[in-house]
Amino acid sequence: TRMGDQSPTLAPARVGSTRYLLMQDVPWLGKRDLKREIAELDARGADGRASGTWAELAARIKTAYSQLQYVHRNEQLTREILDLMTRLEKIAQVRYAGGLAAQQDVIRAQVEQTGMKSELVALENERRQWQARLNALLARPSASPLAVPERLRTLPAPAQLDPRALEERVRTKNPQLFAEEARIRSAEKNRELTYKNRYPDFTLGVSPIQYQGSVKEWELMVELNLPLQQGSRRAQERESEAMLSAAQARRDATANQVLGELAENLSGFDAARRTETLAATSLLPQSELTFKAALAGYETGKVDFATLLDAQRQIRQARQGRIKAQAEAQLRLAEIERILGEDL
């Protein structure tokens, strides 16, 4: 207003003087670098958590696919056994017509077929549920068609599952441990930054002063921020130490949990592989021989129909056990790869 001589205005050429102030904070030596390193470590921790999320999603997809495959193979097996029971029913009918067997044999064969048809209904429902779940994991509409599972994933060689080698890989590549290590380093840098707050920060400023159309004066400013509140500063230092200790404890707890899960899944994988081998090389051939002998004995009247049904059930249980062991191995492999954060 020029001492009240004119109306208020902000135009620099019409006022008495215009003061411009440019300021820049200048932290103590090392503080800026520590803040940058803390931000970079936080970003690395976020990357580790993102990788962990992707590994978890991949494991869930592999698990859903393995379960879908398990149900599909069970359906195939049930249909094969149903066809077998149909043939056994015809044999029982021929023997019954010839007066060599009781009508109860035919009825029992029909009851077995009805039970298998009920199982097929349940398996079909379970297959649809797993298809919907897998589509959801793949971000697809739940009713989207899926190809029929053709074959199992190839299992890694025993040499690739050496416990000590896998433990080392877990310690260096597990996404959770990677994120926790980044959090520890961030906490260490934050502690260093907190201790540097014992030293003052500066603010530098320059202020040109314009009188109407020209700048005729300059002002320089130095501001010093003294950390006089010692109680608050010491509390912040204790907090930074506690945060570091908490991060280290979380890392140790996560490492123990992850390594425990690794050992558990390695043991389960080995048991599933051995069970599958035992079923394929011993149990299944023995069951097939037993069934053939029982079928020949029934056709000649040496064994009853109940013995033949028991032999048929043994074949089915042996084949189901093999399928289950193969599916268990696939599930354990998916968990091991989730823990590693990469495929084997």
pLDDT at residue 262, as a whole number: 92
Taking only the tens place, the pLDDT of each residue in 267-315 is: 999 999 999 899 888 888 888 888 888 888 877 778 788 888 888 888 8
Q: Are strands 201-211 and 214-225 parallel, antiparallel or unpaired?
A: antiparallel
Instruction: Give the structural domain span for 134.
Output: 17-340
Determine whether 258 is exposed, middle or buried from the number of CB atoms within 10 Å of its CB (0-12, 13-18, 19+): buried
Give the angle subtended at the CA of 321 by the CAs of 320 and 326, to the nearest 5°.
Answer: 100
Residue 135 clears pLDDT 80, i.e. is over it? yes
pLDDT at residue 333, as a whole number: 92
pLDDT at residue 213, as a whole number: 78
Mean pLDDT of 216-229: 86
Q: Is residue 4 part of a domain?
A: no
Taking only the tens place, the pLDDT of each residue in 28-51 is: 888 888 989 999 998 989 988 898
CATH of the domain at 252: 1.20.1600.10
Taking only the tens place, the pLDDT of each residue in 91-126 is: 888 877 877 777 888 888 888 889 889 999 999 999
Q: What is the mean pLDDT of the chain?
A: 87
> Which of 283, 312, 329, 272 has the alpha carbon at shortest distance from 77?
312
pLDDT at residue 216, as a whole number: 86
The DSSP secondary structure of 154-168, one letter per residue, reads PPPPGGGG-HHHHHH
Q: How many CB atoms lie within 10 A of CB 19?
A: 10
Crossing angle (nearest 10°) for helices 31-97 and 175-196: 160
pLDDT at residue 258, as a whole number: 92
Between CA 184 and CA 41 the distance in angstroms is: 9
Domain count for the chain, please give it.
1
* pTM attached to this predicted model: 0.78
Residue 2 clears pLDDT 80, i.e. is over it? no
pLDDT at residue 17, as a whole number: 81
Residue 227 clears pLDDT 80, i.e. is over it? no
Residue 237 clears pLDDT 80, i.e. is over it? yes
pLDDT bracket for residue 6 (50, 70, 90): confident
Q: Is residue 295 part of a domain?
A: yes
Residue 184 clears pLDDT 80, i.e. is over it? yes
Residue 185 clears pLDDT 80, i.e. is over it? yes
Between CA 120 and CA 76 the distance in angstroms is: 9
> Which of 282, 290, 297 has the alpha carbon at shortest distance from 315?
290
Q: Is residue 5 part of a domain?
A: no
pLDDT at residue 162, as a whole number: 85
Q: Is residue 26 part of a domain?
A: yes
In Å, the largest CA–CA distance within the chain is 132
